[in-house]
Structure formats: structure tokens, C-alpha cells
Structure 1
């Protein structure tokens, strides 16, 4: 009996010691976790999933003729929303048509009289250039413009979405810019958060955050802070602890992708992490924060129509402190969209150029000393050997804040083709004309404008050899828009030179050009489609001399370059095709 008791005491002692050992292991494990995450401090605040509201209005006084939608209705792109009337426009069209018919009848009578007067010989050209014919041509153009404005009285949705409110009734008159209909996206495009005034300095533009639904913790996603308010404001009632408890803080806007899991108006929690070298993602994994010199992914932060933005050119605009970007993929309907991108790689605005119906394959952008922006299509042939009208365009654009309006549009390809065929023996024409001299064959990849002179970087041409840099120069570029034509004496070749020889970069062509701090920067890519390219530098006055290599890229296709004067950094965009596009920021090369 004593032996059994003794054995039981020994067993109890062993079990007790084993428990203490297990407890010690658990305490050590928790201590390790605490040490591991002690430096990861998080900041939490609340927000509401929201979407941008689109106001549909008219810039003129109008009468509501018909309304084809109701609040809450889901509409598709190009769906008819309402019909408007402008009595003043109808009257002006009627008057102009009457005057035009009278002038045409008079011109026809004069033409018949001239035919009968056999002793007076009047050529067709002289008749076309007569004051009467010039007036007819001018009035015809006015009539076309007025009829286009009449067509705009049929209001179509520019994108798919949901009708929010209808603020007018059939038969009512509406003043200019009065909101007639409001629309919003079918899913949230942003989170509006409010961070308490006591910790308002814990968040900043470009900061990565984790957004989680309050009602469903499984609805979670990573996002990036797009902007932080510059003043302290009152919290919305929904985000207060109680209605009577007035709270103040800074508004934080976070853009989210269109496939986010949240409902419009859903209450969410926003969490950011303060450790400088890492943040916690939605999957609780530590990832390094990218350094400013790294190549970073371009993120689409708004619900834009064109989800396949392929950056093809950049221009930094100082007063906006933003970089404007164009895309050679212009979407399903070739809408004239440009984008703004910040230095965190976030594409935060999509802007439609006013006055341009459609354009495709935008490849080059530049801004002159007066802030006028120019955009060029590639002018290149498709696989069928043809150049569509949408790919032949050169635009001249003026800007007011974030509003961009075309003040000039020219069919540049046809104008250049016409003057080249008429001057086949010129050096520049020989570079542009295809075999047989029947048409030009070019691919414009970069442009720059200085003192009303435009330079075109040609990636390929009918008579360009591999690894060749050709810079076409056209003087008095604004006159091209005025007369929709180019004179032979305006055109010359500024450079026709081989790129610096490198065994790793054979068969390369220009992908962009930019004049930065008085020096000409040239981007190149591989013409065969292989990913890779270089940054070269030379002087605009004589690009054939002193062309030096500054940087090379393997596995990346540089397509646009600009210089952020506020941050003193170069920006280079990369078009990676089906992969995610990228952006590089660097102080110097």
C-alpha cells in the first residue's frame, strides 16, 4: 500500500512539473510574438463606402422635352436618358438654312451666267475662291456646328451606372448648368474616412491601409490613401459614438477598385500601420514598403471606363502638382481620356478631353512654354496596312485647372502624306515615304514642342534602319492647325543618327522624347517586342553628337518620361502589356 501511494505521489509530481513546463513554453511563445510585433503600431478609424456622383446638365438654357429614365434605374453606356429643346438654336438653324439657300441660288445663277458669256473665261478655281463661295463655305461650317449642338440635345449616358435623382419635369425650363439628372456608379469607388483630431498626423497621402466592413469582417481589402483634408471638420453623425457627441477630425479619401466587396453607404473600419519598413496587409502578412527609387506598380484608384490603361506618355504640370498620362489603349469607344497619376503610382483621375469625339493609339504628349498641351496618335498602320482616321490625329489642348479642351485638331497624317508625295526628292520625304512613293509609313512615339516648333520622334518608318533615331522637325506648328495643311518649307530632319551601339540592345527604336532642363532625353524599346529599353541623353540643337546612355532596363518597356520639378525627380512609365504597368521615380541617372 505504501508503495502505491509513493508511486502516485511521483506521478503527480511529474504531471505538475510537465504542466509548469508547458505553461513556460506558452509564455515564451507569447513573448516572442509580442517582441515580433511590438514595433507594428496600428491606427484605426471609421469611414463610409461612397461613390462619385455625376451631375448631368446643359451649358445653355433648355426646355425638357422628354425623360426616359426613373430614379434607381440601372443604365448602360450610351443609353438615352432625356431629350432637351433649345428654341433659340432651332431659330438660328432655320435662319442660317434660309440664308444659305439664297446664297446657293445666287451662286448657281452667277455660274450659269458665266457659262453663257463665252468671251469671259472663269476657271472652277476662281469660282470656288469667289467672295460668294467663301461665304457659302463659312456658313456651311456654322450650320454643321449648330446641327451638332442640336444632336447634343439628346442626352446619353457616358458610362454604365445607376440613376440617382431627376430634378426636373417634362415641359419645365432649366437654367444653364442646373443639375438635371444625377448618376452614380453601381459600386463604391472610394472610402470617406474620418481620423480623430488627436491623431490626425498618423495618416498621409500614399499610405497603405486595410479596409474592413463593420457588419461583415470577411469583407476586407487593401487600399491606398488618395488624399487627406487640410482642415479639421465635424464627423458625420453615423460615425460618432452618439448623436450628442460632436467629434472633429480630418477627412481621408481612399480610392478602391471597382471589384471591391462593399455596398454604397456601408460603414467600414480603416486600419493603417506605423512601422516604417512594413505594413500588415488584409491577409496579415508583412510586406516591405517600396522605396521612392523603386519601380512601383501603377494602381487604378478610380472606377474608370478603360480598365486597360497602357501608359504611353507623361507630362508633369506644376500648378496641379500632378503628372498627366496618356494611354495607347483608348478603350472600347476610343474616348479621348487622359489620366492623372501621383508619385505613389495611383491613377486618381480620368478626364475626358472636351471637343474631341474619338481618338485611338495616343502615343505622344508634350506641353509648350505657355501651357498648351499637344497629343499625337501614332499614325501607324494596322495589320491590314491601313491607317484609320482615329489614328491620324494631332490635338492642341488648353487647360483650366483639371478641365482640358481641344482648341485645335488636325488630320496630321493626311497633311504630311500630301506634302511628302508632292516633294518626293526631299530628304525628309524619302525617310517618310514607303516603297513606290505612294504613301508615307511612320510610327510617331514621342513629341516635344519648343517656341512653336514641334519635333517628332519616329520609332519606325519605311526607310528607317534598325537602331536608328530620326527626329522630324516642323516649324510654326500652330499654322498647321489653322490651315489643316503643311508646307514643304516647314519640314526638316533634325536628327538621323544611329543609337549608341550595345550588344544587349539590338534593333531598338525611340519610345518617347522630352526636353528636360535644356537637354534632350530619349527613351528606347526593343522593336521586336522583347522587354527592355534605355534612357539616353543628348542635345536638341545637334542630337547626332554626344548621345550617351544614362540607364538601361531589362524586363521593362519604358514608354514615357517627364520631370517633376516640385519633387526634383524623373518619372518613367512602363507599358508591360498584359502585366501590370509600372512607374519609376528617380532623383538622377
Structure 2
């Protein structure tokens, strides 16, 4: 203000030229100062405007990031890792005989833990045995009385025939005397109709007819009794068979009174001691797994997740460690109701949270801690490549076609794929040597066996192993064939001698499993090799069958690669030996129930035929078979070729030569199963331990 006043004051006075120049300089200086202040003010305002724009852009980016993270959260949920826990109890009263474990002790799979006894079981077994003995005694008494009656009738028949023969001899003698007397007196006249000769002739014919009728009557009665004596369908036999099955079931229950550990872990609580009486359904002890085997997770009710049973997920540890633990898992079940979250999974103990339960199965021997809080990811984390690279190679989407095979009849061929596995079994996928497969019509899945272990592998339609079952009590080597009949699953060993020329006990078995929910439990086994040896001493075998079985057992050339069970009849397909005509043989054994009970059975060579390679230049041997309608579908292998070679054949009617449908050069077909709903055959190939096994699917018309 002082400067402006000064300028106005000078402007109102008369000034000299020097003063005017000085005043102009001052004015220019003031104007420049004012312009500088104005420019500085406008420059600061522009910078603030740009900063505001930057802040808005950052806010938009932050909102996008938050929105994307919120969207991704629907691909992730949380849970708590747990382990398998089993409570040992019985559905009937028992008494503790022995408990070999203590609370907190470690146990291994298959280790003995507990033995109990049932008084009612022993009494029931004794009653059944007494009933069998009583019925057998009545049966033997009936057989003896029937045999005695036959002998009496035969004696009566002989006596009656002898008496009639004596009477006939008298009549014949009288006729001879009359003829002689008449010849001496030719002039003697008698009435023709009442002559002694005519009367004696009539009597002679009557005695002859009486003799024939008597013999026929006696023989009919004797034949009827003999038929009853030799009948195999007596009422007593049916009752004995029922009682023997009941006895076997009671013995099986008695064997189950010795409890072994189903898995490795530790003993939790022990509620009783030796000598104590235990009421039915009362817990005796608890067993906990040694490592986490499942995750119980929760999906919030406000979040939409695309989770399904059988889906593969990834479990990430939330422990504050430098190296995160990430393992694969599989969704085992989804809850059908909304429940409240556990306290540990709530964001705040004061705020309730509700969601849907999800049970996830984990691989064995993982690194998760018991009761550890984990995150469940529906998408594979990038860091998982560094943690488990081998499991990435086992994804179903990366199951390429190995080779295409053209059908012999000119129809569409089949494609050969590699059998792969989910993360739970991927590490051992390449070591599986597929030896047999069967379709389960109840659960609509395939069950596969390997000749290198005793596991059951669940196989889906895409050729992926989704589950590996270890059956408690199933101990078998060189398992080569598998079949299903109703609620029973049968696995047969090859019965073949090993390279050292020894036939071990585990290679001699035919094992029966019983269905339990969606899985199987061990029920019974039989020494099939011993049963075949016993048949060679049976009088019920025809000469051809006895010669074949004797050759197979005595020459140690036996190798059974296929079997089927249908209507209580066992069919065995022999890879070796061939019969005298170089044909493959299928042996039929009647009454499988009697075979498992150790009772005598009948056997016969049911079919014999050739499996050639199409042009008749080479003969292959059976590796598996399956009945479908009135036809038999067989896989066979060339045991003498340098490179593996096999095929698929169809056999119908009484033909002695099977029709070749498909050839698989370079592959060893070991098993065949047919889905009776889709009429598709699944064929599995043994990789010989080199790069895993393979499978193919073919339509059956």
C-alpha cells in the first residue's frame, strides 16, 4: 500500500526528467513483483489439481483390486485338519480276554490290539454243530435203511423168480409126460378144449407172464430206491448246506473277535480291562491316526462356491513358516445343511458365522499338524509346482492319446491312453502293473488290481485312479483276475510258480470280499491250488479233465490269468498249460460255496478253443475273460513274441476258434470289463513296470 501511495503522490506533482526516469523504474519493479506473486499463486493451484487427479486414479485402482480379491475369495475357504479316529465296540455283549495296548501307545497297521469272547457265539456254534451231526446221522440211517430195503427186495425178487421157475419146471415136466403117454396110446379120444395138454399149456403161459410181471414190479421198486439213494438233492443235504453256511458265518464272527489296527496311529482312551464284561455298543477303546487324513472345512453361506464331490483341491497351511506346506486333496462329501462355524474359524468370537461343511480327504504321511488351521484352494497355487512337481503330470486334462488301434471288422478303432492318478496316488501311478479290471454295477465304477500289490484301485471312465483301497486281511501275491457276483468280489492269484520254482502261499489263493457301503471288506479265502490237486483224486472227473488238471499241477506249468463267477459256479481261464490240441482251456467248477467250505466239488473242461492273431500264423493265450449275454469276450497275449502283443476276441456258441476283434501290437492286454449300461468294454494293459499301465475303451455290439 505504501508503494501505491508513493506512486500516486509523485504522479500528482511536477517532477524533473530525472525524477520521472526514477519513478518509471520504480513502477516497473513493482509491476514485476506483482506479476511474480500472481504467477506463483496460479502455479501452486495447478499442482494441487494434478495431485487430486492422481488420488482419484489411485482410489479407482484400489477399488478394482479390492473387488478382484473379493471375487477370488469365492475360490478359497478355510478349515481344520484332523485325523482318522475309530471307536472299537461290538453290537453284542462281550468279555475282555486281552488288551495289548495302553493309552497313548503307538500302533502300526495290522498290529493286534484286543481280544474278546462271546458266550452266545460258542453256544450257537455248538448248537449248529449238534444239528449238523443229528441230520447227518438221520441221513446215514436213511441211506443204510434204503440200502437194506434194496437188498431185501432183490432177495424177494430172486425167491419169487425161483418159485415160479419151479412151478414152470413142473408144468413143463407134466406136458412132456402127457405127450409121451399120448404117443403110446394113439387111439385115445379126448375133448380138444379140455385136454390135459391145453390146460397145462394155459397154466405154463400164465406162469411165464407172472414171472415177467413179478420181475418188472420188483425191479421198478428197486430202481426207485436206488435213485433216492444216489440223489444229490435230498432234503437233508439242503438242511446240512444251510447249517454249514451258518457255521462258517459263526466262525467268521469268532475270528473277528480279535481286533487289529486298521491304520497306524496312537491309542486314545481305554475304557475296560481284561476280565470285564462289556455291554453291547459300549466303547472299549479309541484309535487315532498318526497323521492328518482329512480336513473339515466350511463354505460361508453368503459365498457361492463351485465345489463338487470328487473334486481335486489344494490345502495350504496357514502356519507362520517361511516355507508353506501345500498338499493336494479330494472332496469326499458336502454337507446338506448350514451349521455354525467353529470358534477358531470365526473372524471374531462375538460375531456368528454360518456355512456348509465340506470333508476333504488328504494323502497319507503329509506335513500338516493335527488340528492345524488351513486354507482350501480350488485353483492350483503357482508355488505348488516347486513343492510337488510330480503330481502336475497326473492331471486328467493332460492324458494324451498314446496310440490308435484299428478294429479288425473295419469299424471305428480304439485309442490307447495312459492310466493316471490324482494327487493321492500320483507318486505310485507309474509302478502300477494292471492285471485285471471289473465294472461294479452298484456304484458304477471300475475296480482294478495290480499283480505287484494287494490294493484295490478305483478307476473312473477317464482312466484316472481316484482311490486306492487297502483291504484289512487281504494278503495276496500275483493277483491276476477279478470278478463281481452280486455283493461279492473275487480276486484270484495266478497259482504260478515263481522264477525260483517255488509256489508261495500267497500265490495259491482265491479270495472273496463282501460289499460294505461303497467299499469292500475281507470275508474268506480258499487254497485254490490245493483244491485242484484234490480234484485229481476224485472219481467224479472225466478222463480228459483229470488228465489236464494233473498235467497242470504235477508239471508246475499252471498259470490262471482269468476267472468269472456266475450263479455259484467258478470258471477258470488257463493261460498255461494248453491242452493236447494247443487250445486254451476254461475249467468249470460247480458249487463255489462248497469249494469255500472245503467240501467236494465237481469239475469239467467247459470250453477249449484257439486264440490266433487273425491269419493263423500265431496262437495266443488267455489273459482275461468276461461273460456278456451268450458270448465270451477274451483278451490274450503272445507269450513267445519278443515284443509285447495282444488282442481282443469274441467267442460264441460252440465254436472252437474265437473271432479276433482288435489287435494291440506292442501292448500287453491283461484285463477286460464291460459296462452293461453303456455296452463299452474297458481293457487295461500292463506296462511291465516301465512307464505305467494303459487302458482303451471299445464298444460291444
Give distance in 2, aligned partners of 1:315 and 1:304: 24
Q: Retained in 2: the 8 A contact 1:519–1:537?
A: no
Give distance in 2, aligned partners of 1:304 and 1:70: 35
Give distance in 2, aligned partners of 1:142 and 1:451: 20
Structure 1 counterpart of 2:673, from 546, 562, 568: 562
Task: Return the TM-score normalized by structure 1.
Answer: 0.68
Structure 2 counterpart of 1:539, from 651, 672, 693: 651
Does 2:634 align with 1:522? yes
SS of aligned partner of 1:447: strand
Structure 2 counterpart of 1:365, from 470, 482, 495: 482
Instruction: Kindly provide the CA deviation profile for residues 376-430 of structure 1, in whole angstroms up to 9, marking residues without a partner as x.
Output: 2211123343434443333455535346567764433223234346689844444
Q: Retained in 1: the 8 A contact 2:614–2:660?
A: no
The total of aligned residue pairs comes to 496
Task: Return the TM-score normalized by structure 2.
Answer: 0.58
Question: What residue number does 1:165 align with?
Answer: 269
Instruction: Kindly provide the CA deviation profile for residues 463-486 of structure 1, in whole angstroms up to 9, marking residues without a partner as x.
Output: 6899x6433334454454456334
Question: What residue number does 2:563 align with?
Answer: 447
Give distance in 2, aligned partners of 1:144 and 1:534: 41
Identify if the C-alpha distance between structure 1 residues 265 and 201 changes in structure 2 by more than 3 Å, giving closer, same or farther: same
Q: Which moved more, 1:43-52 or 1:572-581?
A: 572-581
Q: Retained in 1: the 8 A contact 2:399–2:420?
A: no
Structure 1 counterpart of 2:503, from 384, 387, 394: 387
Question: What residue number does 1:416 align with?
Answer: 532
Question: What residue number does 2:334 align with?
Answer: 229
Unaligned runs of 5+ in 1: 1-39, 99-138, 332-336
Structure 2 counterpart of 1:510, from 608, 613, 622: 622
Identify if the C-alpha distance between structure 1 residues 54 and 526 changes in structure 2 by more than 3 Å, giving closer, same or farther: farther
Structure 1 counterpart of 2:442, from 300, 315, 319: 319
User: How far is the alpha carbon of 1:343 from its aligned partner?
Assistant: 4.3
Question: What residue number does 1:498 align with?
Answer: 611
Does 2:103 align with 1:71? yes
SS of aligned partner of 2:292: coil
Identify if the C-alpha distance between structure 1 residues 272 and 406 changes in structure 2 by more than 3 Å, giving closer, same or farther: closer
Give distance in 1, aligned partners of 2:661 and 2:337: 49
Does 2:83 align with 1:51? yes
Question: What residue number does 1:116 align with?
Answer: none
Does 2:604 align with 1:485? no
Give distance in 1, aligned partners of 2:303 and 2:682: 33
Give distance in 2, aligned partners of 1:432 and 1:579: 35
Structure 2 counterpart of 1:471, from 566, 582, 586: 586
SS of aligned partner of 1:270: strand
Q: Retained in 1: the 8 A contact 2:317–2:326?
A: no
Does 2:407 align with 1:282? no
Question: What residue number does 2:418 align with?
Answer: 295
Q: Retained in 1: the 8 A contact 2:434–2:451?
A: yes
Q: Retained in 2: the 8 A contact 1:343–1:585?
A: no
Q: Which is richer in strand?
A: 1
Instruction: Kindly provide the CA deviation profile for residues 2-59 of structure 1, in whole angstroms up to 9, marking residues without a partner as x.
Output: xxxxxxxxxxxxxxxxxxxxxxxxxxxxxxxxxxxxxx98922223333222332335
Identify if the C-alpha distance between structure 1 residues 227 and 387 changes in structure 2 by more than 3 Å, giving closer, same or farther: same
Give distance in 1, aligned partners of 2:247 and 2:633: 46
Unaligned runs of 5+ in 2: 1-70, 131-242, 401-414
Question: What residue number does 1:348 align with?
Answer: 467
Q: Retained in 2: the 8 A contact 1:534–1:549?
A: no
SS of aligned partner of 1:415: helix
Identify if the C-alpha distance between structure 1 residues 183 and 58 changes in structure 2 by more than 3 Å, giving closer, same or farther: same
User: How far is the alpha carbon of 1:254 from its aligned partner?
Assistant: 3.4
Does 2:361 align with 1:254? yes
Does 2:187 align with 1:187? no
Q: Which is richer in helix?
A: 2
Give distance in 2, aligned partners of 1:141 and 1:252: 40
Give distance in 1, aligned partners of 2:347 and 2:368: 22
Give distance in 2, aligned partners of 1:531 and 1:260: 40
Instruction: Kindly provide the CA deviation profile for residues 365-386 of structure 1, in whole angstroms up to 9, marking residues without a partner as x.
Output: 2223x44433322111233434
Question: What residue number does 1:210 align with?
Answer: 314
Does 2:370 align with 1:264? yes
Larger Rg: 2
Give distance in 1, aligned partners of 2:685 and 2:251: 42
Give distance in 1, aligned partners of 2:367 and 2:124: 51
User: How far is the alpha carbon of 1:222 from its aligned partner?
Assistant: 4.8
Q: Retained in 1: the 8 A contact 2:112–2:261?
A: yes
Give distance in 1, aligned partners of 2:492 and 2:518: 20
Q: Retained in 1: the 8 A contact 2:114–2:260?
A: yes
User: How far is the alpha carbon of 1:497 from its aligned partner?
Assistant: 0.5
Question: What residue number does 1:132 align with?
Answer: none
Give distance in 1, aligned partners of 2:477 and 2:584: 24
User: How far is the alpha carbon of 1:82 from its aligned partner?
Assistant: 3.8
Instruction: Kindly provide the CA deviation profile for residues 439-477 of structure 1, in whole angstroms up to 9, marking residues without a partner as x.
Output: 5631111112344443322222276899x6433334454
